[in-house]
Structure 1
Amino acid sequence: MAAVLRDQDTAMAQSAVVCHIDRRADRLLTDSRFAAWVRTMARATAGRDLLARRLTEWTLLNTIELGRPWVSEELTAAAGWCRRTAITRQVATSPDALRLLAVHGRPRRVRNAASHRLRHPEQTR
């Protein structure tokens, strides 16, 4: 991770790390090791706002997936990838999160997908 982030092409380095974060977080999302992994990644990526935000949004998804209390404004203000992921996860998504996104999600595609998941909870995209 450190070697990748030292690359002179900052955009490419951060893109590679985002891909790694996304793959790993997706696998660990409901795993008991998730929080420790996020702490480790936060230390390794310190000072990089894009990567910190990505970890924060994955932590929000973890909170929602585990049924813990979460703040609706965080989800509606989250990046598009995060809102789409909240809708399309293959594991059970919080009905409260789906209802929020069905009404307040942006763009319309997110609202429509959330509405569809609420009407057809047995289907995932």
Structure 2
Amino acid sequence: MNAEDSPREPAEHARFAACMADLEQVAEADETELVGRVLADPDQVMARAAVVRHLDRRAAELCPGPAWEEWAAAMARAVAAHAFLTRRLREWSLLRAVTLGLPWHADELLASSDWLQLKAAAGPDSGALGVLAEHGRTKRIRHTARAGLTRRGSG
């Protein structure tokens, strides 16, 4: 089979890979601008997928540290027109509060996505495990939270 007969990578896959590479290497000072450029791509599914991966990676890196507040505020402005990305960033803020023992509300946790509930259920106990063991949205979330409570009780 020659090169002309081989299947070509779809253009959006190549753009996604390029966006991810750019987002992984961007300087902090240029991050907000780059996120905006990615979100301006005509293929909004690809653009949001790249940005949510970036948000997840950066939030996990910055979550416990002092740089979080400024970064989260900048990203909130950059993704303001994108409901899913805005929610993901808000949920990272809630997860940060739960994880660090900052003030949070059970109602907000219970109204959050399965993604956040599962992340909180798998994390350290800060009051969230009891809430999720009893009222988590899915069996998996409730089971994961109960397992965390059991580990804590036996440790």
Q: How high is the TM-score relative to the length of structure 1?
A: 0.90
Aligned pair 1:93/2:116, yes or no?
Answer: no
Match of 1:121 in 2: 152
Q: Which residue of 2 aligns with 1:74?
A: 108
Report the RMSD for the aligned CA atoms in angstroms: 1.5
Shift of 1:121: 2.8
Tell me what 2:49 maps to. Answer: 15
Deviation of 1:122 (Å): 8.8
Higher relative contact order (CA 8 A, sep 6+): 1
User: In the TM superposition, what whole-angstrom CA distance separates every residue of 1:68-123 from its partner, at most 9, and x where no partner exists?
Assistant: 1111011011011101111223xx331x1000000000110100000000001399
Q: 1:7 to 1:122 in 2, by over 3 A?
A: farther
Distance 1:51 1:40 in 2: 13
Q: What percentage of aligned pairs have identical amino acids?
A: 42
Q: Which ranges of 4 or more aligned residues in structure 1 deviate by more than 3 Å?
A: none
In 1, distance between residues paired with 2:86 and 2:125? Answer: 23
Q: What letter is aligned with 1:25?
A: A
The number of residue pairs the alignment matches comes to: 120
Taking the aligned partners of 1:79 and 1:88, their CA distance within structure 2 comes to 14
What amino acid does structure 2 have at the position aligned with 1:73?
Answer: D
Q: TM-score, normalised by structure 2?
A: 0.73
